[in-house]
């Protein structure tokens, strides 16, 4: 084997290591690509983690799965959701395989472990036929497991799974919703609590074949909560661990920031916040800490809004508080600034902030700025009919955002453009049981928030998904709110809309035959 052949093999191996799953193709005949430029290509594989929705026997949960149509995807692909019940503590649990012990493809139907389709009890049955049309599945009770999902090929770009639960009574009653998220190694959750009225769990789910080791740190009004009980938590492969936050602290605190950091492996993480009197919801992780923070989509009929903010920096800072209203940025009366002490959690009641109008909170700082994470707890209803939801700080969507699980009524899309006017295209997909896709274009003026009653598919049957594309202008932040009224309780849940990650920038490279001569 000569030196030229060896060099070519080494070059090919290096390219394979860099590109991973991406296919390496030579430039087209036009030769327009240049080193350093990049093209956006569809992702080829997506992994999502959904925590167990509830431990209530009267919980009703709907899962909605959707992949938007993306140009450039292959003609085939699959999606799969498996229960995260393998290799639990004590060596018990379902491996997640679909076959029963006798190999007949049917599950055990009398012991509560498998249903007639070979799935673990409570596992949703989601089998999409093609991108652009959502599929839904309903489950009930407390035995629904956490799920680990993968999508590849044409189903991977922008794959979204929404988990929505209704609980009629008891602690955390109301409407709970969560956008199943990708596993990661670092999460911040401002807005948790260990007060007497709250029962908060952080759910840790490991999607991989090896164990993950996780640390959970709590930060209150006086700084870090001293405890060693959150150190070195082992999450076995393909398993989930719900950790009750009150067990990690000797003293009750109304407002906490939870930091989940992974020493080895990766996990999906979310906080389930359940209140005895104010209902409950999921608290998703905040976006990466930043000096400017946007919290979009405060419901216009919110009766109370509470801001919880945290900075891990050593220095203090003052946050300038502005509300992006339908008419522009305004300063809430009596809350023009909020002082944040480094390393501590600060909470401020903002009261009836929106006063019946659409609104998003924008937090900025003067130089020098420090990185901040934040969340809002919003309350709908009055008296003993109140219900709560959480809005974490989020990133803008640069290309496209996706939200599944929408119905013809009770869905609000909230969009804000804090720094520059932007134009967006909102597309309502076909319905899960019938209907035709429809789109509409909106202009969001600089510094404003616009609540949009989304377009509804023609002839809608079932639920549908929304995709929002930024066509031009400045950054856009978004949130989708679902509302319901059951037994007089004003149910509410809000999910923010960061970019759905359907495409990735892939650097282009010119052909250089000189590499063969090295």
Query: Peptide bond preceding 420: is omega within 30 degrees of 0, i.e. cis?
Result: no
* Assigned domain for 269 exists: yes
Distance (Å, whole) CA 59 – CA 75: 38
* Assigned domain for 61 exists: yes
Q: What is the pLDDT of residues 118-166, one digit of tens each?
A: 566 678 889 899 999 999 999 999 989 999 999 999 999 999 999 999 9
CA separation (Å) from 259 to 123, 297, 496? 29, 24, 20
* Assigned domain for 305 exists: no
* Assigned domain for 103 exists: no
The domain tally of the chain equals 1
Residue 38 has what pLDDT? Answer: 73
Distance (Å, whole) CA 110 – CA 161: 29
* Phi–psi pair at 384, nearest 5 degrees: -85, 10
* Largest distance between two CA atoms of the chain: 83
Distance (Å, whole) CA 354 – CA 270: 27
Q: What is the pLDDT of residues 265-285, one digit of tens each?
A: 999 999 999 999 999 999 999
Residue 342 has what pLDDT? Answer: 95
Residue 506 has what pLDDT? Answer: 82
Kindly give the parts of the chain with pLDDT less than 50: 1-35, 87-112
* Assigned domain for 268 exists: yes
CB neighbours of 269 closer than 8 A, spacing ≥ 6? 184, 187, 189, 202, 203, 204, 205, 260, 285
Give the domain range for residue 205.
45-83+135-283
Residue 489 has what pLDDT? Answer: 74
CB neighbours of 267 closer than 8 A, spacing ≥ 6? 49, 183, 184, 185, 204, 205, 206, 207, 212, 214, 235, 260
CA torsion angle for 510, 514, 515, 518 (degrees, to 10)? Answer: -160
Tokens of 216: 């959970």
* Assigned domain for 225 exists: yes
Tokens of 407: 């119905």
CATH classification of the domain holding 79: 2.60.290.11
* Assigned domain for 443 exists: no
Residue 355 has what pLDDT? Answer: 87
Distance (Å, whole) CA 475 – CA 466: 19
* Assigned domain for 218 exists: yes
441 by DSSP, 3-state: which? strand
């Amino acid at each position: 084997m000569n030196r030229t052949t060896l060099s070519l093999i080494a070059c090919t191996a290096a390219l394979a290591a860099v590109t991973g799953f991406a296919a390496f193709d030579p430039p087209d005949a036009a030769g327009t690509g240049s080193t350093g430029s990049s093209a956006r290509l569809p992702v080829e594989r997506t992994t999502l983690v959904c925590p167990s929705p509830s431990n209530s026997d009267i919980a009703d949960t709907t899962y909605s799965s959707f992949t938007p149509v993306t140009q450039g995807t292959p003609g085939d692909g699959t999606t799969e959701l498996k229960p995260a019940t393998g290799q639990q503590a004590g060596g018990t649990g379902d491996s997640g395989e679909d076959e029963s012990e006798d190999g007949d493809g049917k599950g055990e139907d009398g012991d509560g472990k498998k249903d007639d389709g070979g799935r673990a009890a409570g596992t949703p049955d989601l089998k999409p036929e093609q991108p652009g049309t959502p599929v839904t599945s309903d489950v009930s009770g407390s035995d629904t497991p956490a799920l680990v999902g993968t999508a590849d090929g044409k189903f991977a770009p922008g794959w979204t799974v929404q988990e929505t639960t209704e609980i009629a009574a008891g602690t955390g009653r109301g409407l709970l919703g969560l956008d199943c998220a990708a596993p990661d190694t670092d999460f911040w959750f401002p807005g948790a609590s260990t007060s007497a009225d709250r029962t908060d769990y952080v759910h840790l789910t490991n999607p991989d074949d090896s164990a993950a080791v996780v640390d959970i740190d709590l930060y209150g009004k006086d700084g870090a909560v001293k405890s060693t009980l959150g150190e070195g938590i082992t999450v076995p492969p393909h398993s989930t661990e719900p950790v009750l936050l009150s067990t990690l602290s000797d003293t009750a605190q109304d407002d906490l920031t939870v930091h989940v950091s992974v020493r080895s492996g990766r996990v999906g993480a979310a906080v389930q916040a359940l209140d005895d009197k104010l209902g409950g919801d999921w608290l998703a992780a905040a976006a990466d800490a930043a000096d400017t923070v946007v919290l979009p989509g405060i419901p216009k009929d919110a009766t109370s809004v509470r801001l919880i903010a945290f900075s891990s920096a050593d220095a203090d800072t003052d946050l300038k508080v502005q509300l992006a209203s339908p008419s522009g940025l305004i300063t809430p009366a009596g809350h023009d600034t909020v002082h944040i002490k480094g390393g501590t959690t600060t909470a401020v009641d903002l009261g009836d902030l929106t006063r019946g109008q659409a609104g998003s909170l924008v937090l900025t700082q003067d130089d020098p700025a420090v990185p901040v994470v934040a969340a809002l707890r919003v309350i709908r209803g009055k008296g003993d009919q109140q219900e709560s939801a959480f809005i974490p700080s989020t990133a803008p969507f640069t290309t496209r955002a996706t939200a599944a699980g929408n119905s013809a009524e009770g869905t609000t899309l909230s969009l804000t453009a804090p720094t520059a006017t932007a134009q967006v295209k909102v597309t309502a997909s076909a319905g899960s049981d019938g209907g035709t896709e429809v789109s509409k274009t909106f202009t969001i003026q600089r510094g404003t928030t616009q609540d949009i009653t989304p377009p509804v598919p023609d002839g809608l049957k079932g639920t549908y998904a929304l995709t929002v594309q930024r066509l031009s202008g400045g950054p856009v932040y978004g949130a989708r709110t679902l509302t319901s009224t059951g037994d007089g309780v004003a149910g509410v849940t809000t999910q923010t809309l960061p970019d759905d990650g359907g495409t990735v920038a892939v650097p282009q490279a010119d052909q250089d035959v000189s590499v063969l001569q090295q």
